[in-house]
Structure formats: C-alpha cells, structure tokens
DNA sequence: GTGTTATGCAACCAAACGTTGCACGTTGAA
DNA sequence: TTCAACGTGCAACGTTTGGTTGCATAACAC
C-alpha cells in the first residue's frame, strides 16, 4: 500500500531538477544553493525552493557554514526513496510479466 | 544521460493519481475514464486529463467502444518507464554504497 | 570602511492539477 | 420513435507549483 508520506517522497524525486540536484549532492558531498545553480539550468532561487522541498521530505539536511548554507543528502531517506522506486518498478514488472505469459498461453492455444 | 523524453516519462509516472491509474489499468486490462474515476479520489474530468498526459507519452492507448472510450496500458512503453526507475534507483544505490564504504574506511583508519 | 558574495524574502508569471457546468453523441427502454 | 440516462468532450475558473526578477541583509576580503 502507498502512503501519503510515500507520495511526498515520490513527488520530491519526480522533478527532474530535484533529481539532478540529488545527483550533484551525491557526487560532491555537500554544496550551497548558489554552487548547485551553477550546474543547473535554473536560477539560484529556484534551486533554493527545490532544496526547501527536499528538506521538507527529509532527503537533504543543511547547516549554515560561514556566509553560506550547505546541503547534503540524508542517506537513510534516499535509501527509502530508492526502495520506493524499486517497489513500484518490481510491481509493474511482475504485472507485465504475467500479462505476457497469459498472452503467450492464448497464442499457443490458438496455434494448437 | 537523461533525455527530455525520459523526463516526460518520469513526470508522467511522478503523479500519484497517474501511478494508481496505471495500476488499475494493469489490473483490469482496460477501462474508461468514468470507470477509473469511480476508483479514484478525483473527478472524471481530472482522470480524463491524466489519461491525456499518459497518452501523450505513450504509456496508454485508447479506442472508442460504443459510447465510451477505453484505455489500456502500452506494455512496451511501461517497460521503458520501469527501466528508467530501475536505472535511477541503481545509480543512487551504487553511489550510496560507495559513500558508505568510504565512511567505513575512514572509521577503520581512525580506530586503527 | 567598502565592495563583493551568499542568502532570504516578496512580487509576479506560467503551467499543472483540480473543480463545476454544459452541450453533444450513444444506448436502451417505454 | 421518443425520451431519459449515460459517457464523453469542451470551457471557465481557482489553487498550487516551478520559474523569474528585484531588493534588503549578513558575512567575508581588501
């Protein structure tokens, strides 16, 4: 069963820019909104809003560091998100597999 | 590398109602907008718009049948979507795994 | 101090998701 | 053959979300 929290996680990673931000953060360890926006096609403020979304669902955490605020991935929460992805993928995969098997059975029946 | 088409696929399955619609369609084989809306918390028109989105990215196809229009999942395209999910999940998983290994190595170094 | 840099806040715009209302074709039964 | 019921499609509208710009403020570097 899918919960509301899971939906929040999904919609957080549903946005392509947010996914790329997670990629960048995983790659660099930690970064500020300004640093991230340098590597993304959107403004620093847009990045800041996305970071707020990711923070709200717990996918990133931040701490002030001098005059900048650095964000880093919350590994446990990203693992939960990955588990969600895998779960949905596995469900659909199983269902598709079953449909194919049925289709093949019908085919054999018609041929035979 | 992620393409624009892939982003479209992602955003299509990013919406929780659309994911549930795909579940329902996989389960029932084919259904009309009205039938789907009976099993969802949104109006028939909202469902119709979601179906239009899914149709635009090729995840469902439809054909008129009497006075109703029935939608069914395009299996090949859903397989592509599942592959996307798995790819992103695998990437993040690998990255998380690497980070953990590094963390453990540092830990051992400090202990030793 | 003064200028540069990073941030945060507010106003604003466009697209997406949701609603309701209505008009039109199809179905089935009086 | 009417006529009511059903399913659809279209239009108008409101709210949320992702994006922008502009500006004020705090921290660094000279």
The full set of domain ranges for chain B reads: 7-111
Alpha-carbon span B24 to B17, nearest angstrom: 10
Rounded to the nearest 10 degrees, the angle between the axes of helix B4-14 and helix A4-14 is 160
The CATH number given to A7-111 is 1.10.10.10
Kindly list the residues from chain A whose CB atom is less than 8 angstroms away from the CB atom of residue B81.
92
The gap between the terminal CA atoms of chain B, to the nearest Å, is 40
- Minimal Cβ distance to B16: which of A10, A15, A19: A10
Q: Which residues contact A49 (CB under 8 A, 6 or more apart)?
A: none
More confident residue, B6 or A49: A49
Q: Would you call B78 and A92 a contact, using CB atoms and an 8 Å cutoff? A: yes
User: Edge-to-edge strands of the sheet including A60-65?
Assistant: A31-32, A68-73, A60-65
Tokens of A27: 């790659």
Q: Does the beta-carbon distance from B96 to A26 stay under 8 Å?
A: yes
Query: How far apart are the C-alpha atoms of B78 and B2, rounded to whole Å?
Result: 17
Q: Name the DSSP class of A59.
A: S
Tens of pLDDT along B59-84? Answer: 999 999 999 999 999 999 999 999 99
Residues B1-21 have a mean pLDDT of 86
Q: Are B60 and B71 in contact (CB under 8 A)?
A: yes
Q: How far is the CA of A53 from the C1' of C9 (A)?
A: 17
Cβ atoms within 10 A of the Cβ of B36, count? 22
Which nucleotides on chain C have any atom < 7 A from a protein Cβ? 5-10, 17-21, 25-27
Residue B8: per-residue pLDDT: 86
pLDDT score of A88: 96
Our CA angle for A52, A47, B85, nearest 5°, is 85
Is residue B1 pLDDT above 60, yes or no? no
The rounded average pLDDT for each run of 10 residues, N- to C-terminus, in chain A (112 residues) is: 76 95 96 98 98 97 97 97 96 96 94 85
Model confidence at B6, pLDDT cuts 50, 70, 90, reads confident
Token pair of A24 as six digits: 């960048």
Q: Cβ of A84: how many Cβ atoms within 10 Å?
A: 19
Nearest to B89 among A2, A16, A86 (CB): A86
**Residue with more model confidence, B2 or B91:** B91
Q: What is the pLDDT of residue A2?
A: 62
Q: Which residue has the tokens 């998100």?
A: A81
Question: How far is the C-alpha of B34 from the C-alpha of A58, rounded, in Å?
Answer: 37
In the block, which residue shows the tokens 């790329």?
Answer: A20
Give the closest nucleotide to A38 (alpha carbon vs C1'): C6
Q: What is the mean pLDDT of chain B?
A: 94
The average pLDDT across B88-111 equals 95
- The tokens for A72 are 């880093």
């Amino acid at each position: 069963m899918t919960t509301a929290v899971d939906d929040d996680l999904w919609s957080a990673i549903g946005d392509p820019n947010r996914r790329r931000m997670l990629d960048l953060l995983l790659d660099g360890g930690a970064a500020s909104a300004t640093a991230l926006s340098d590597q993304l096609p959107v403004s620093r403020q847009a990045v800041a809003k996305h970071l707020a979304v990711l923070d709200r669902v717990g996918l990133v955490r931040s701490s002030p560091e001098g005059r900048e605020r650095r964000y880093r991935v919350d590994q446990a929460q990203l693992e939960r998100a990955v588990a969600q992805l895998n779960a949905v993928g596995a469900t659909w995969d199983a269902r598709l597999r079953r449909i194919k098997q049925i289709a093949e059975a019908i085919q054999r029946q018609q041929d035979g």
